[in-house]
Structure 1
Amino acid sequence: METLQNILKFKQKALHWANQFEVCCFLDSNQYKDAYSAYDFVIAAAVQSELSCASGTAFDQLKAFQAAHQQWLFGFFSYDLKNETENLHSNHADQLNFPDLYFFVPKYLIAFKNGKAEVLIGDEDILNEINSFPIETKHQVAALNIQQKLSKVQYISKIESLKNHIIRGDVYELNFCQEFFAENAQINPVETFESLNQLSPTPFAGYFKVYNQYILSATPERFMCKRGKRLISQPIKGTAKRSSNPETDEQIKRDLRNDIKEQAENVMIVDLVRHDLTKSAVKGTVKVDELFGIYSFPQVHQMISTISCELDPNIHFIDAIKNAFPMGSMTGAPKVKAMQLIEQYEETKRGIYSGSFGCISPDGDFDFNVVIRSILFNAESKYLSFQVGGAITYQCDAEKEYEECLLKASAILQVLGDN
């Protein structure tokens, strides 16, 4: 059994090795114990075959791609695939220009579990190549001028407008997000991700490079996974800032667990996810495995619920993803009206933000995260972006929601040197 130090060294070398290719994906659980994760971390690199497409027939194209290859697939779903699943549109500016859907079959795939690396695709010699791979450090060369798309006054004004929609009964809850961005940005993506992953290790972290576009993610949230016949979704709703004092920190956890407002937000999304899973489930199998679970991360405690069902054998697993996409925790309830209001009040096209990335195994199991707490970077246009948001309900306080956004942004701002 490898020591943790050796594992961390191998992980770092493997990431740098994978980054030499034009396309790679690294998924990392950061040693969090999770009942549904198949591996501790996986690294996919180089392209055997790929699919890149826009919203319209993207899910059907993915089904055909998966049927043609029956192999490990790594890829992402953009939030704007909502325009395919519902009669919606997106007219906001998009400076990042990620594809709406991208998947690839890797030439090399290494999986790590219980202290042991396994080559799933490629030659065993890859492990020696990784272990001897030189790591060059090229530190960030220019200070970033990070700006906010909305001022605090504008943000609060929009929250008050959204609360009026709630009073009118248009929606019960809505996830509203704002963008932080930097133009003419120059970063070293691998090192930036490593810094973020070290400062804020999370169970669904990942690094995804598609040519000149990068996702650097410290997301704590799973969108959905499939294990055998079972689908599992784990929405997050409920956030509290941690304290360095252990007793105070425990009290904050207890307060979050018993917070009526946070519970109300969480249960609305649980109901929405149950509804989404019902579209793909064997009748009567949708159940809530855990309600209001409190999980701790370096900056925050989060309230996470787990909902599962048995997948109807007549429904393709990719259709099950489509039936639940975009995830309820990033939209609101009712879902379609919430997405219409998101388009009306937000200033930036979400694109890959609040979408999902992950992998599909040859037997049709899959695991996909939620793209939050993530830096998105287009190296060609030198545009860097990250968004943060929160659940807006009738009871919410606009000032506190703004502060929660800054809390969620804190690790990224620290990593980008804007603290």
Structure 2
Amino acid sequence: MNIPPSQQLWIYITESDTHRGRSTAMQIIEALREAGCPGATVLRGVAGYGGHHVLHSELAIEVASHLPLVITVIDHAERIAQVLPTLRALVHDGMITITPVEVVHVCHRERDPFPRHLMVGDVMSRAVVSVYPDDSLSTIVSLLIERRLRALPVIDNERRVVGIITDGDLLNRGTQGLSVRLQRCLPLTMQMTEATDLETHPQTAADLMTPNPETLPEQMPLAQAATVMSGHDRKRMPVVGPGGVLVGMVSRYDLLKTVAEGMRQHPEEAIHLPEGAPATIADLMITTSATVLTDAPVVEVLNALMLSPLRRVVVLDSNHTVQGIITDGDVLRRASRRMQPSALGRLVAWLSVSKAPAAIQVEGYDRMASEIMSCPAITIRADASVAEGVRLMMAHKVKSLPVINAYGAFVGMVNRSGLLAALSSPNSF
């Protein structure tokens, strides 16, 4: 087992030491945990004296609060060096030493991805925007755009969930040609035009919603919630209290963020995956991903986007190495700043159709993939663990990651849906 050079950090203080009104010992422990150190131990001495030669002993009840404390942690030398400046600022009357150590054996415990004590109500978003069945289409779209939402629960007068409206519902029912997500990328003048057109539509939330949607009770354990969301392939779901009353919304992001936070707080503990779950990213990645070369024209990029179920294209160089990623939102945002209104209108119309034509002429936007891509792209090795995928995706707040092999060549994509499915167990109920 190849273990990096390690050190043992020793911090000598007393129980009574404080920093800005708080216990110095507790602030040191918090700093070590925040830095990602795998564990720290506080040792309380029974007797001792410091630089002032005043003897303190637990036998002397009146000075027991001045007994010596020793805080120690073993970690990689690099991480100890990173946290050392913070510790120096906390220790005003004491001593810090570092001892090289040889780690000959490390045995990590395994834990469940989702903490057993946490329920859906502990991680959900409580600031939920909802609509009533008779609210208009223009109201619904305005809320989705202005609040940057992807779904709206529909409630009755008792706040019971009777339906849900998603961006996809509006597209599928033909009330919107362009997704709300892409409408946010348009210039304000075009957004206002779209909003004016909506005022003539007679549809209400009752006409557009998916009735009687699946909901999650706020007291459901997170592991069960992950299984339900993965099984129904839901990105987000309403959360209800007694009587089906809406109390929040929970998303894949909320669940994966909880897993990532647990990994940050307990880096020494490996995640125990359900039996039969994918062991590596290679086991759950999508291999049929859209790609273009760096010198591909925008026309080629657009055609690739329309064929991609993830609505993103990976940009590669001649060695099949990932250079960046392009989404349909990237194209529209950058095009809106460069194209004439008439040409932009044709691009919007082209993106609005459910089955794209074979090609489109993008007048006034003579660009290559390398000029419109987002870079650098955050990639992950195919042999990486599912836990590493969660950590990277949450740390960089991305919805998908390009997957590369041992030689750095692109081999597929992994997204939140795949990661959540890997962490879920069909036997959670």
TM-score (norm 2): 0.20
Could you say which structure has the higher strand fraction? 1
Between structure 1 and structure 2, the one with the greater Rg is 2
Structure showing greater relative contact order (alpha-carbon pairs closer than 8 Å, 6 or more residues apart): 1
TM-score (norm 1): 0.21
